[in-house]
Amino acid sequence: MIKFFIFLLVIISIIISGVLSATPEAECNKQSNKDCQSCLNISGCAYCKTSKECFPVPTTGISDRCKTSDLQAVTCFGK
């Protein structure tokens, strides 16, 4: 019985660590091809209006993934 309990704890720990270690890139990418607000609801994500791509906010302030005029980083505006 104790071995089963330990086994169960190990499995639960593995599952929890996998969920908590999701990268910001992966979390943002899940929101691609959705609307801007879905993307920006994830902390640290930016949205490109033309490609509908959701990705981590560029740390340099400049993104080669999206033209500056199409980049949404804090709030969704325009169409």
Q: Where are the domains of the chain?
A: 23-79
Whether the CB-CB separation of 71 and 46 falls below 8 Å is answered with: yes
Task: Output the pLDDT for position 3.
Answer: 67
Task: Output the pLDDT for position 8.
Answer: 46
Sign of the Cα torsion 31, 28, 23, 65 reads positive
Chain centroid to CA 15: how far?
A: 19
pTM equals 0.67
The series of mean pLDDT values per 10 residues for the chain, 79 residues long, is 59 52 82 95 94 88 81 85
Instruction: Please tell us whether the domain made up of 23-79 is placed in CATH 3.30.1680.
Output: yes
